[in-house]
């Protein structure tokens, strides 16, 4: 039977869509399943507020009555209005190593986006930059970092052969936990301690985070406004983000710098939980939670999740305070390595700091872009159904 791409309709289709990656990656040793409870919430417009300011569509590719590929199309109107763009996004692309399938899925999103007046398609990008971005193009043999994509090498070729070109690259740095930080950091920390005015805040219990989490996320909103793909979150979204991650956070690896109650800088890390997710197969119950908690205790890799410094306070040494504190906690807790989260290629300051720790760029991710030419007669064309 010929290949057919259809819109996902109903719970049965959505189940196939959600479960498809596990089938495609069953022989992929480092692939890590998602938490399926989170997946069902993510694709539920009643639970995911991103649907309130975005258009979205899901497609499945079918052959011989079997789903063999999937993709999501997104138009984030909030981000487009904020950045004065007309971008659609493709996300969660999964398919076998077959150009016909990949091209058909991408073309479906492109046609859908073009009919809605979009001028380009970028991806992989989700609703927000808190979701995985880009395809792995280097470092396929490395352990995935939390909240990042992990794909087969040939998926890169399939996307590029569909006419997509580089839009931006990200790096993930891998560094060893050391006994002593760079001498420059030690001097900065001593100078800041002598001057006073800034206070490093560390935590012992998870409940202590609750009084700070809104201020931390507010600083993220303020600091990330110019970051690629970012769109400001509203208060409800920040609350939901906090609710999602606080149960997973180890308070030892949350650090912030404050002044008179205002959060000026923060860094958040957590033990790598890939092993636990693989053993749980993405299910929290009945024993998945135990697998994840066990993996957190055994892990020797600390993953950096988020970090930010308030505009106007950069270059004052707050990054040195945070780096020194997180390195000490990692060392005291028996961690051997740290993976950064995605660092934009244009963030030369952070990348220079990585060199001070003798960090290596272990993984490289790429977000792609393709211009969408308006179809003939587009003024009168009726958009395809969602």
Query: What pLDDT does residue 378 have?
Result: 55
Q: By residue range, what is the domain housing residue 233? A: 178-335
Give the pLDDT score at 234. 79
- Residues 135, 37, single domain; the answer is yes
**Pair 129, 276 in one domain:** no
Shared domain for 15 and 150, answered yes or no, is yes
- The lowest-confidence range among 163-167, 231-235, 306-310, 362-366 is 231-235
Domain membership of residue 361 (yes or no) is no
Please tell me the distance from the alpha carbon of residue 150 to that of residue 30, in angstroms, as a whole number: 8
Output the pTM of the full model.
0.89
Residues 35 and 60 occupy one common structural domain: yes
Phi, psi of 185, rounded to the nearest 5 degrees: -65, -40
Backbone angles phi, psi at 18, to 5 degrees: -70, -35
pLDDT greater than 70 at residue 85: yes
Residues 228 and 279 in one domain: yes
Taking only the tens place, the pLDDT of each residue in 304-338 is 988 889 988 888 888 889 989 999 999 999 999 99
Residue with tokens 């912030």: 256
Q: Which DSSP category does 97 fall into?
A: S
Name, in order, each residue with C-beta under 8 angstroms of 90's C-beta and a sequence gap of 6 or more.
71, 72, 73, 74, 106, 109, 121, 122, 123, 124, 125
| Residue 150 forms part of a structural domain | yes
Domains identified in the chain, total number: 2
Is 211 found in the same domain as 230? yes
Cβ count within 10 A of residue 267: 23
Do 102 and 157 contact (CB within 8 A), yes or no? no
């Amino acid at each position: 039977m010929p290949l057919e791409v259809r819109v996902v309709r109903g719970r049965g289709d959505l189940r196939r869509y959600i479960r498809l990656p596990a089938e495609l990656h069953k022989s992929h040793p480092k692939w890590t399943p998602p938490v399926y409870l989170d997946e069902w919430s993510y694709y539920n417009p009643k639970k995911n507020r991103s649907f309130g300011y975005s258009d979205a569509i899901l497609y499945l590719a079918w052959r011989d009555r079997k789903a063999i590929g999937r993709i999501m199309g997104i138009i984030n109107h909030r981000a487009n209005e904020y950045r004065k763009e007309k971008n659609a996004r493709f996300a969660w692309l999964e398919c076998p190593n077959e150009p016909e399938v990949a091209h058909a899925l991408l073309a479906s999103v492109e046609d859908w986006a073009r009919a809605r007046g979009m001028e380009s398609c970028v991806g992989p990008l989700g609703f927000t930059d808190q979701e995985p971005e880009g395809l792995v193009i280097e470092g396929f043999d490395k352990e995935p970092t939390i909240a990042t994509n992990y794909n087969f090498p040939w998926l890169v070729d399939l996307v590029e052969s569909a006419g997509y070109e580089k839009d931006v690259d990200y790096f993930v740095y891998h560094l060893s936990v050391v006994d002593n930080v760079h001498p420059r950091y030690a001097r900065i920390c001593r100078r800041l301690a002598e001057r006073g005015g800034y206070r490093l805040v560390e935590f012992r219990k998870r409940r202590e985070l609750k009084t700070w989490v809104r201020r931390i996320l507010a600083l993220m909103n303020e600091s990330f406004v110019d970051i690629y793909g970012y769109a400001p979150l509203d208060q409800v979204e920040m609350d939901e983000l906090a609710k999602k991650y606080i149960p997973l956070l180890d308070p030892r690896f949350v650090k912030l710098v404050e002044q008179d109650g205002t959060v000026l800088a923060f860094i958040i890390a957590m033990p790598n939980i890939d092993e636990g997710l693989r053993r749980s197969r993405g299910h929290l119950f009945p024993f998945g939670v135990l697998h994840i908690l066990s993996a957190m205790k055994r892990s020797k890799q600390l993953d950096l999740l988020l970090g930010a410094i308030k505009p106007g306070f950069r270059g004052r040494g707050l990054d040195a305070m945070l780096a020194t504190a997180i390195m000490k906690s990692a060392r005291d807790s028996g961690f051997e390595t740290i993976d950064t989260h995605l660092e934009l290629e244009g963030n030369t300051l952070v990348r220079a700091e990585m060199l001070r720790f003798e960090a290596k760029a272990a993984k490289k991710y790429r977000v792609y872009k393709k211009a969408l030419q308006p179809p003939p007669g587009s003024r009168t064309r009726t958009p395809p159904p969602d």
